[in-house]
Structure 1
Amino acid sequence: MTTETQPLSGRIALVAGATRGAGRAIAVQLGAAGATVYVTGRTTRDKVSEVGRTTETIEGTAELVTAAGGTGIAVPTDHLEPERVRALIERIDREQGRLDVLVNDVWGGEHLLTFGTKSWEYDLDSGLRMLELGVKTHAITSHTALPLLIRTPGALLVEVTDGTAAYNTTRYRENLFYDLAKNAPIRMAFGLGEELKEYGGTAVCVSPGWLRSEQMLAHFGVTEENWRDAVKDLPDFGVSESPVYVGRAVAALAADPGRARWNGRSLDSGQLAKEYGFTDADGSRPDSWGFIVAKETEPDTRVEDYR
């Protein structure tokens, strides 16, 4: 392997919330670029989280990272428990002495989510749990990991959310708690970007488009191999993207020596694909958010024009 094929060789990354979906793909693509990647989450081969999926585990993610060309290290971690996160960061410091990339992708709140219910009619415990999973976990992880991260000039912090700043701040996401949970990472990246400037660090928020996560595929009753079968019933699903796409987006950011130009920004996988020239796993270059916005004013907008 060369520095061209593995530009992140020697770099240390932590992907918090890497069990499945975007987090898993980000970890794998960082590994493909040569990084050593610590992957965390609550679902292991011995224990299942409240999400209730047994197929994807952090051990499985770590093995995929290693198979891709990196080094995957699975560490079971509940990011709502500060002492567990502290132990994780102390381990990374002890074993590696540095942290170059921190990805905050902790979520796992889909099973709590319903749209179209007024906030005062929504189950309060479910709403507050979404805020814990999508906001509190990120705050705990950043607070604990940043002292190690800033030791390395040029370090990168990536907040992962659903939606861009341009989209989320001008549209209601049809559930108040979800809206708050998905806007918070955008603001976190902005604020942490301001704090990291003097240390030569960069913080950004990255959103995938319409993501074909394991849970989304299951919802439509398809697999990654035959996902287009769902387009017959929902044509707009044709603009969706595999998790590989956002994984490649974050890997491209991490390998870019000029990434500081993005500091504090809200970015998305389609936008970064145009900037860095990568494609999705099938060779396409979908622009989900471009399509979604265009469709609001032009109902006849074609999926084909955004792939």
Structure 2
Amino acid sequence: MDRTLGGRVAVVAGATRGAGRGIAVELGAAGATVFVAGRSTRQAPSAMNRPETIEETAELVDRAGGRGIPVRVDFCVPEEVDALRDRIRSEADGRLDILVNDVWGGDPLVEWGKPFWEHDLDRSLTAWRNGVQSHLVSLHRLVPLLIARGGLLVEITDGDREDYYGSLFYDVVKASVRRLGKVLGEDLGKHGVTAVSLTPGFLRSEAMLEGFGVTEDTWRDAAKKDPHFAISETPHYVGRAVAALAGDEKVARWNGQVLSSWQLANEYGFTDVDGSRPDWGKYRVDVFENHRKDVDPEDYR
């Protein structure tokens, strides 16, 4: 069993599902204690109205070999983040080595395919609060604990470049999170903290699988509807990227950068759960920029 992170304490904000769940589980697999923080519990689902819960994620962390501690937190509410901070102080002696901000909760709120001035403003601003304000509150309340350890801070975003994503409100959220990695590197590097932004590729989340009408066992069937899905990756892939960063004694070399799962897979040598190494970046360049028609997605795994 990999115990690279044995004794380390992590907070994964937004660990209920998707990338956050994959990150929490892989940190656990490396031996970490993980505070699994999010809004969806078995007693009360969040506004996302999905079945995944923080308790379920914590159990997966335990099963992977770590220790999962579920904590119900709305990261837009400072008092709830204060309560999480107090639990870290009481249950982990105030130790915090790894902070991952993955709160999003905006997919049902973002609109596409029409001018932004025709989008519902209240829903759009809620997406901004969920995806940006939550990160700022988390940072304000939890970074002092991280500084005490000289730890790792990871901001999870979408995309490693400044291409426009086709929806103003979505784009502004993800660009803001990418920018956080840069400015936090400036602010926190002098305190011994390494801060980065990190993106997965085409993420095979629970919601994405459901949207395509497939399961993790049958996911390749979805490529019949969208050929690009053949290069998709599980949430464990970006999770292994975070675990690799957290276990790297020279992680400070990445400070302030926008990183990707495929870049770090090539750097650290980890694979996705099926043993492949999806390279969304190279695929994106060949297909969307160079307009190659003869590509086989398997060649990019």
| 1:22-37 → structure 2 map (5 Å cutoff) | 22-37=19-34
2 CA distance for matches of 1:106 and 1:246? 15
Matched residue of 1:112: which SS? coil
Alpha-carbon offset, residue 298 of structure 1: 1.9
Q: Aligned-pair RMSD on alpha carbons?
A: 1.0
Give the structure 1 partner of residue 292 of structure 2.
Answer: 299
2 CA distance for matches of 1:98 and 1:251? 18
Alpha-carbon offset, residue 234 of structure 1: 1.7
1 CA distance for matches of 2:256 and 2:142? 18
| 1:175-254 → structure 2 map (5 Å cutoff) | 175-254=167-246
1:178-221 Cα deviation digits (max 9, x unpaired): 00011111111111111111111100011010000000000000
Aligned pair partner of 2:125 in 125, 128, 149: 128
| 1:2-151 → structure 2 map (5 Å cutoff) | 5-54=2-51, 56-96=52-92, 97-151=94-148
TM-score (ref. length: structure 2): 0.97
Are the aligned partners of 1:37 and 1:72 in contact in 2 as well (CA < 8 Å)?
yes
Structure 1 segments of 4 or more deviating over 6 A? none
Are the aligned partners of 1:93 and 1:99 in contact in 2 as well (CA < 8 Å)?
no
- In percent, how many aligned pairs have the same letter? 56
1:133-189 Cα deviation digits (max 9, x unpaired): 110000000111011110012x0000001111x2xx1x2111000000111111111
Structure 2: unaligned runs, 5 residues or longer: none
* Amino acid across the alignment from 1:222: V
* Amino acid across the alignment from 1:303: P
2 CA distance for matches of 1:233 and 1:299? 19
1 CA distance for matches of 2:29 and 2:229? 28
Give the structure 2 partner of residue 263 of structure 1.
Answer: 255
2 CA distance for matches of 1:244 and 1:10? 21
Alpha-carbon offset, residue 302 of structure 1: 3.1
* Amino acid across the alignment from 2:139: S
1 CA distance for matches of 2:111 and 2:202? 17
TM-score (ref. length: structure 1): 0.95
Alpha-carbon offset, residue 41 of structure 1: 0.7
Structure 1: unaligned runs, 5 residues or longer: none
1 CA distance for matches of 2:90 and 2:249? 27
Matched residue of 1:102: which SS? strand
Alpha-carbon offset, residue 98 of structure 1: 1.1
